[in-house]
Structure 1
Amino acid sequence: MSLFRRRDYPGQTADQLIPPRPQQPAGSAVVTNETALRHSAVWACLRLRANLISTMPVDVYRKVGGIQVEVPKPPVLVTPGGGEVEMPEWMYSSQFDLDRAGNAVGLITARDGLGLPARIELQPTSEVTVRMRKGKLTYKIAGTVYEPHEVWHEKQYTVSGLHVGLSPVAYAAWSIGEYLSIQQFALDWFSNGAVPSAHLKNTAKTITPDKADEAKQRFKAAVANRDLFVTGLDWDYNMIQAEQAGADWIAAKNFGIGDIARFFDCPSDLIDAAVSGSSITYANMTQRNLQFLVMSLGPAVKRREDALSRLTSRPRFVKLNTDALLRMDPHTRAQVIKTRIDSRTLAPSEARALDDLPPFTDAQLAEFDRLFGKGAQAQPTTATPQGGAPS
């Protein structure tokens, strides 16, 4: 089943917006959201994006006097699918569907005292149909029709006039199809015993067309059954296209990987598929991750924050903590923290809290006095007397 259905009112339908494909020739690969996962680059892109976004901590805030203050999360942002499905798993599954199908759909099976969703059970997108009939939107999931208020629907890659997001796989079908067709050829060649065009020549004598046909049939029958082909000393077999076919297969695989990486907005070098001849140099890993976050993941993160904010009461809002992605190496991190302390934008006690350490005690501050002289230690306001609160 498909998410796309023709609308009753004039205008372009979803299937018209996606470039049509001609009738598939015999033996060619048919690309769907499921078969596309056989392409290693498709799997790598979806896995990387879903892994990163699903492991970003989900925090809830509200503005108090113009300052952003963190507040407790509602249960739906802790175990959105019930006790057996926690937030990271739920986020991974929904992000995977968003990136490959353009939509993530779930059934709202419980609500809290404010009428907000308290439990959302994600559904396979292959079983979901979104219908618009005379201005009325309905969802059909596994044969059952649901009203919009019963369904949780996130979407991305949208176009005006459509109530669903579009799938990158639909647009990428040409490239994926080429790769899968070549992959099938490779399997036939390396596993099933099929061979490319070749030249079978008798070196001892000239043979008649009848004898040539007979030899060809014998040879083809032996190869098709993966059997031995027995000849005398007068036959030469040259696999004319084997070497070139293998080179073309490898070249097409490399092209397909880079092409799919662009469709799924995932740089090739991050899935170990850097394009030959290209070189991008970064001063450190933090810069590389920052570029990936800003250019690729940032828009998806913002859309998810807006969608998840609908699960909280206003004026609360949701933020995904991207600090984990921007984690620096120890040397760079220490330099940044020192710069912030020197510029008075970070207190020493806050810096220690970043490393899950408590404020300095008086005994620890005394050590600084002995090693570096009086006044070299952190400010006294960061000290914590043994057994007491910070002074």
Structure 2
Amino acid sequence: MTPQSFCLYLFFLVYVAAIVTKPSPYRALYMVPLIALYTYAVFFTQPTGDAHSDYHIGLPMSIYLAYASSYILLSDPQLYLRRKGQKELAYQMSFIPRLRWATDLALNCRAVGWDCEVPKLRRSSLSRWPFVRTQLLWLMYYYALNDLASYLNSRNPATWKEGGEHFGAHGILWQVWNVIIFWVTLISSMSVNYTMLSIVVVAIGWYDPSDFPAYFGRWLDTVSVRKFWGQSWHQLIRRSLQPHGQYLARNIFGFQKGTTLSSYTQLFACFFLSGVYHAAGDWTIAHNVDIAKHTMQFYMLQAMAITFEDGVIAVAKRLGIRRVPFLPYLWVIFWLTISTPGWAEGMARGGLGDFPPRFPIIPAIIKKFNAA
């Protein structure tokens, strides 16, 4: 086990302990070891050479540190959060039930089955075994998609660590292609892991199918950049962002809830914090300031794009202009095409240009075909 991995596991134990602890003014002291472990793992250890392992130290620790800040400094979840059907508040429970409650809250980033659940999740209405069979089909689909994307990435200098080629090196169509493959790689790799987990824990009866809503929203609903990030994307970090954005807008700047200033302060704060999460992940793989800087730029640009499209939509409504079919989709594709390369190229230079499956199939088939 690397020092970074040890810090991550210890960090999570302290994080859960902070949630388990009953309401007390001294709960804030848990932030001291959490910040110390985070600082050491992210800034005072050297990259191991395994980009994927390193990235999954900096990124999750950043996310969980923000969740810890929300649950320790900004609120006390035992005083107000409940799982659906829960009668008594957490601080009224005995230790073991409270430990299960805290562990579920810590691991359940979308708060599925809680009264603070992320909105508009797509739940399955299937029973246990039909759900497992359906998920097996989805697993095969996502695995094949990830395998194909990985094979294409392995033959593309734009996604090699030492390739050095820009996404748009061969024109705009090549850039569009590279951006599509980049997002397909991310979506398929994350979906494989989530789908596999859902199959196992539902099959053995630990969870119900309703506990595993679709990882992503409906792509046909992606009619704006706001919809892309706020509904179609996975929403795993949403609840770590909102409390800090709200605190900044209302408690620091004093903006009234529901006002334009409050809304856009929260918007930019959330994308800034999301950029910090991902930049920390980038930093752990290469200790390269330029890569982290481009990641921050990418996420701040998303907030600017949403502000721009909100303005365009408002003007169009005032003028009575109806939505032009397919134009919203073209806008989202256009925006991701021009904004993604700065972030994706940095990831590639750090060694994260690909998220290959554990057992690649397509390269093996091609190898056998060539041998024949």
TM over 0.5: no
- Select the structure of larger CA radius of gyration: 1
TM-score when normalising by structure 1: 0.22
**Structure with the greater relative contact order (CA < 8 A, sep ≥ 6): 1 or 2?**
2
- Relative to its length, the structure with more strand (as a share) is 1
- Relative to its length, the structure with more helix (as a share) is 2
